[in-house]
Chains A and B, each alone.
Chain A
Amino acid sequence: MLLVVLFVLLGIAAWIGRESAIQFALSRLHHDAEAILGGMDMTQREVVRSLPPIYTQPLSGHYYLVRFDDGARLPSRSLWDQDLAIPEQQPKTATYWLARGPQKQQLLIWQNSYEKDGRRFSIAIAEDVAPLLSAIQRFLWIGVIASLAAVLLMLLVQRLAIRRAFARLDAIRDDVRAVREGLRSELEEDVPAEVLPMVVEFNQLLHAWGKHQERSRNALGNLAHALKGPLSMISRHGEKNGDPRLQDQARRMRQLIEQELKRARITGRAMVGKHFRPGEDLTDLVDTVTALHHAKPLRITRVVDAPDTLPFDQNDMLELLGNLLDNAAKWARREIRLRLSTNGELLLVLEDDGPGIEPGLREDLLARGKRLDENQPGHGLGLAIANDIARLYSGQIRLEQSAGLGGLRVVVTLPLTPIH
């Protein structure tokens, strides 16, 4: 489009240049014709007044030819042995045209008819306009090349500008991905002014979504709270009145509520919450588990070899690790070893010196939250919850026998980046 407009403009410029050059040459030819007319001696049929010497120099490019009505011709000396091709008829008015001349000259010929001393004759006068036209053509070519260069340069600059503008959008896209993967909680607002409103809107959406999530979590917590009180009462009345059926049903309801609420509370990877900080969070958890099991002289050793923050929701990880640690603390005699490392994925190994779990029971325990020991509440369910969380993060939990301590060995692997 740009090129078409450019060429049309160049064409117009060329035409104007050519026309004005021809008009300029024509006016000179006209003057010279006047001079010839003035210097014409009709009796001798000769031009007696001296003309510019260019008309006497052979093949100079400037010629004239006078033709009388009886057919006699008077050529300029510069024509030498050549002739000017002119129409037989005397023209009625002044005309001009372009024609080929000697030595590849390009002649602009101007002709008009006159009458002097009763004799009619025509004067054709010609000038080689090849140098002029070729100069114009040269200018035209320079113009074309310069325009093309300018267009190319413009396109290049435009391309660069667009690239740069889009490079900034790339950063935003990376941000959006980071939010989805939980590496960031909102988009960077240091962006070009054109996209800032969109980024701000997006951040507000994230914020609103986070609030909404927070609210539903709180609502779940409140529901759990509200239901557990009455359930507790039912269970205790069963206990008091020695009604095992009442107690049993209350216990089942409690388990169901616990299980479903805990599952509903898991956030998963697409979250807006705080990130897991292995160092601090494990310290907190170990302190908590130690306090909750203070009756036992537990020795919990831990090795953490991981970055300060990991792209997992803090609450989910507290829940996952808390359940596993609590389970280990319930069964361990005194020793628990915890190792957390990252190498493309998060690897957590938790070992205790308790009785372990028989191979045949391990699968059941992860899958259905079956309790191995009905007397210790929360058992098995903890492992199933941990397994749910791990699966939500595309990870897995394996239960093995600890070679070092003899008890249960739990191996958790979670990929650090989402699998699509």
Chain B
Amino acid sequence: MRLLLVEDDSALVADLVPELRRAGYAVDLASDGREARFLGENESYDLIVLDLGLPLMNGLTVLAEWRADGNRVPVLILTARDSWREKVDGLKAGADDYLTKPFHCEELLARLQALLRRSHGKVVAELRAEGLTLDEEHQQILPDAGQPVPLTGTEFRLLRYFMMNPGKLLSKTRLTEHVYEQDFDRDSNLIEVYVRRLREKIGKQRIETRRGQGYVFKG
């Protein structure tokens, strides 16, 4: 899952980014409004965490512009501004959730997870496919029968993206975009490697290859 963190407080960023990465997000950073607007317009994110008081361009304006362009990416506003007027304005501008600073990291992660689910039309609390469940907390596979199977970070991100989009044809480019961070050297062969590893863990038939097009996850 690719996440854009828009935040100008470098201390908070330094603290938050490792937590987000550990939770399985590929994190891009923007420290001012213009950069945020540009990245939001040109990259495909699964989630955006947006601060409001930003240099160069106000967070609400950035959000309103994304929405005006038809960009429906789930946005969580993370701000110290805690009046109800500001909360109402934030949600009216198109935010999906609003968390005020100071906050607990666990709460942010829980809200991000819930937001992801909602944006993929999943209401249930856990990601499931036939015969297996994804344990997001411990980043492992829980087969209905047998021992838990641990996953590496990249494997986890890739499988989660597959499970969020079952039955959909996902190109290698799209998978790369949602699994890796912006600065990552995008060699699509790496995706092939990770798909092969995932198949070893969950069964070959789960991920179908469409030659020249991409992969389909069978839910």
Contacts and interface: CB of A to CB of B under 8 A. Distances in A.
A and B associate in one complex? yes
Given A224-B81, A292-B87, A232 B101 contact: yes
B170 interface: no
A281 B84 CA distance: 11
Nearest to A222: B53
A314 B79 CA distance: 21
Interface residues of A, number: 34
Instruction: Specify the main secondary structure of chain B where it touches its partner.
Output: mixed
B78 to A, nearest CB: 10
Contacts of B132: none
B82 interface: yes
A315 B86 CA distance: 9
A110 B66 CA distance: 117
Contact of B84 (A224, A225, A236, A323): A323
B68 interface: no
Interface string B76-101: 00011111110110011001111001
A236 B97 contact: no
Interface string B95-121: 111100111110000000010001000
Interface residues of B, number: 27
A264 to B, nearest CB: 11
B161 to A, nearest CB: 22
Contacts of B118: 294
Interface string A244-259: 0000001000100010
A239 B104 CA distance: 9
Interface in A254-277: 254, 258, 262, 265
Interface stretch (A96-104, A128-136, A282-290, A407-415): A282-290
Instruction: Specify the main secondary structure of chain A where it touches its partner.
Output: helix
B84 A285 contact: yes
Question: Residue among A232, A265, A319, A323 with the most chain B CB within 10 A?
Answer: A232
A284 B88 contact: yes
Nearest to A240: B15
Question: Residue among A235, A281, A294, A323 with the most chain B CB within 10 A?
Answer: A294
A235 B107 CA distance: 14
A314 B101 contact: no
A371 interface: no
5 contacts: A288-B98, A291-B95, A292-B87, A294-B114, A321-B84
6 tightest Cβ-Cβ pairs between the two chains A and B? A322-B84, A232-B102, A228-B80, A225-B80, A318-B84, A284-B88
Interface of A: 221-222, 224-225, 228-233, 235-236, 239, 250, 254, 258, 262, 265, 281, 284-285, 287-288, 291-292, 294-295, 314-315, 318-319, 321-323
